[in-house]
Amino acid sequence: MMHCLWLARGLPFPLTAGDRIYSAKLAAALAGAGVAVTFAGFAADAPAQPLPGIAWQVVPGAPRGRLAALASRMPLVAGRHATPAYRTALAGLAAARAWDAVVIDQYGMGWALAQRGLFTRDGRRPRFVFVTHDHEESVTGMQWRDATAGLGKRAYLLQNHLKTRWFERWIARQCDLVTTITEADAALFRANAPGKPVLAMVPGYDGPRVAARPMAQNGPPARAVVLFGSYRWSAKQANLRIFLDHADPALAAAGIAIHVVGDMPEDFRRSLEGRYRAARFIGFVDDPAPHLAAARLAVVAEPIGGGFKMKLLEYVFNRVPVAALAVCASGLPAEVRRSMLLAPDLDALLRQVIAAIDDPPRLEALQQGAFTAASGAFDWADRGRALVAAIAQAGDAA
């Protein structure tokens, strides 16, 4: 049996954000493919769920504060997680057994590669796998160029971008295999780390699937669009502000409500409430189904950031028609994208939303087409088998 040590910033619970879901589901898929996985990270915000084949290893302590991490030559997220306690725990894990593979989950864990010598036994070392969630060089570049940020914040974002650029490239070149969440990201990593094997793995989906949603026959729900997200990360907050600044005047004038659903800091929520006419901020919900069913369209409009938007699969399999920026649909099969309202920019996207919101037959055709096209395309088990094969091939090449 292959034994894999999965090094993450924290245990991925609760499964309320895309990065946590991707890490947990991919690790579970790897375990499902016959690999014994030890998943290490700081304590989660919720108790770990038992998953077959995965042993959860809690690292003592917590990440550093932001101010302390700013002094690091690494990007902020890496500087926060490279604590003495995590380094000590890593040394203990390295000595615990001979590992066949070590996963570096996201660039914030790249610092662990400085201790990769600890894993060598009798001249043999494990394969190191860099599991990426985005091409962070691109994402941080978009962040510092965001004109809505103040001068001081942009200076801070620029220095973090420059750190991220060299650090992410260094990680990719040190590892034996890089995995990405879209083929577009894979092309960027192939350019940054020539000769390294790169495997693109669009996420799977194992959540609820709504059997039918006959909008044309029963009439659509209220004239509302819904945005789901986790708004703890600065880039997600910037995206939401950009969208609302563009969308609120047009959608309010058209009588279309905007339902923003998801966890966000209280001070951020206060800064938004009362600022917009059409937007309603619902906050975190345990059951998304009623909020999805109450919307005529789901909107995905995140100009800052890359990767795969996992909420797209929630929308598609809950049969909510999707309107999105074309860049946000990256990674979806063409057959699925054809059953979405896609636009190159926010103004064009809003025009499509307003044109379609009162057309039940069109909305029903969109959700039915996307659901049918996606039905057999997102199996997590396939991702686990593909990852096992790629790790083995990376070992053979080494």
- Output the pLDDT for position 127: 96
209, part of any domain: no
Q: Are residues 34 and 135 in the same domain?
A: yes
Q: Are residues 196 and 219 in the same domain?
A: no
Quick one: tokens of 226?
């819904």
Round the average pLDDT of the chain to a whole number and report it.
92
3-state secondary structure of 343: strand
Phi, psi at 375, each rounded to 5°: -55, -40
Q: Is the pLDDT of residue 395 over 80?
A: no
- Taking the C-alpha atoms of residue 129 and residue 107, their distance in angstroms, rounded to an integer, is 11
Q: Is the pLDDT of residue 13 over 60?
A: yes
- Output the pLDDT for position 396: 63
Quick one: tokens of 348?
């064009």
- Output the pLDDT for position 94: 96
Quick one: tokens of 112?
């662990």
Look up residue 48 and give its DSSP letter.
P
User: What pLDDT band is residue 153 in, cutting at 50, 70 and 90?
Assistant: confident
245, part of any domain: yes
359, part of any domain: yes
Q: Are residues 189 and 309 in the same domain?
A: no
69, part of any domain: yes
> Could you give the angle at which helices 234-253 and 136-144 cross, rounded to 10 degrees?
60
Q: Are residues 226 and 320 in the same domain?
A: yes
Q: Give the tens place of pLDDT for each residue, 264-309.
A: 999 999 999 989 999 999 988 989 999 999 999 999 999 887 778 8
The β-bridge partners of 257 are: 224
Average pLDDT rounded to a whole number, residues 101-128: 94
- Taking the C-alpha atoms of residue 274 and residue 114, their distance in angstroms, rounded to an integer, is 48
β-pair type (279-283, 297-300): unpaired
Rg (CA), the chain: 22
Q: Are residues 68 and 157 in the same domain?
A: yes
User: 117-121, 182-186, 262-266, 306-310: which range is least confident on average?
Assistant: 306-310
Q: Are residues 187 and 308 in the same domain?
A: no
Residue 279 belongs to a domain with what CATH number?
Answer: 3.40.50.2000
Quick one: tokens of 147?
């004109």
Task: Give the helix ranges, DSSP H, for 175-218.
Answer: 183-192, 215-218
Average pLDDT rounded to a whole number, residues 85-113: 96
CB 196, CB 398: distance < 8 Å: no
- Taking the C-alpha atoms of residue 197 and residue 178, their distance in angstroms, rounded to an integer, is 6
Element housing 54 (H / E): strand 54-59
Query: DSSP states of 56-111 as a string?
Result: EEEESS-PPPHHHHHTSSS-HHHHHH--HHHHHHHHHHHHHS--SEEEEESGGGGG
The β-bridge partners of 55 are: 38
Q: Give the tens place of pLDDT for each residue, 208-253.
A: 999 988 877 767 778 999 999 888 878 889 899 999 999 999 999 9
Give the residue among 87, 12, 2 at the shortest CA–CA distance from 51: 12
Give the residue among 178, 203, 177 at the shortest CA–CA distance from 188: 178
- Output the pLDDT for position 198: 97
Number of domains in the chain: 2
- Taking the C-alpha atoms of residue 1 and residue 279, their distance in angstroms, rounded to an integer, is 52
3-state secondary structure of 13: coil
Q: Are residues 259 and 324 in the same domain?
A: yes
Sole residue written with tokens 């941080």:
140
Average pLDDT rounded to a whole number, residues 59-72: 87
- Taking the C-alpha atoms of residue 8 and residue 107, their distance in angstroms, rounded to an integer, is 10
Q: Are residues 167 and 234 in the same domain?
A: no
Query: Please, what's the largest Cα pairwise distance for the chain?
Result: 70
Q: Is the pLDDT of residue 169 over 80?
A: yes
210, part of any domain: no
- Taking the C-alpha atoms of residue 53 and residue 35, their distance in angstroms, rounded to an integer, is 7
Count the neighbouring beta carbons within 10 Å of the beta carbon of residue 242.
18
Q: Are residues 161 and 292 in the same domain?
A: no
Q: Are residues 182 and 87 in the same domain?
A: yes
Alpha carbon of residue 385 to chain centroid: 21
7, part of any domain: yes
46, part of any domain: yes
Q: Is the pLDDT of residue 68 over 80?
A: no
- Output the pLDDT for position 234: 81
CB 81, CB 8: distance < 8 Å: no
User: What pLDDT band is residue 347 in, cutting at 50, 70 and 90?
Assistant: very high
Sole residue written with tokens 């969440």:
181
User: What pLDDT band is residue 397 in, cutting at 50, 70 and 90?
Assistant: low
**What residue type is assigned to position 300 of the chain?**
V
Alpha carbon of residue 283 to chain centroid: 19
| Predicted TM-score (pTM) of this structure | 0.85
Alpha carbon of residue 309 to chain centroid: 6
Q: Give the tens place of pLDDT for each residue, 303-324.
A: 887 778 889 999 999 999 999 9
Q: Are residues 196 and 225 in the same domain?
A: no
Q: In which domain, by residue range, is 177 found? A: 3-204+379-397
Q: Are residues 286 and 391 in the same domain?
A: no
CB 161, CB 144: distance < 8 Å: yes
272, part of any domain: yes
Phi, psi at 238, each rounded to 5°: -65, -40
- Taking the C-alpha atoms of residue 12 and residue 25, their distance in angstroms, rounded to an integer, is 10
Burial class (CB in 10 A: 0-12, 13-18, 19+), 43: middle
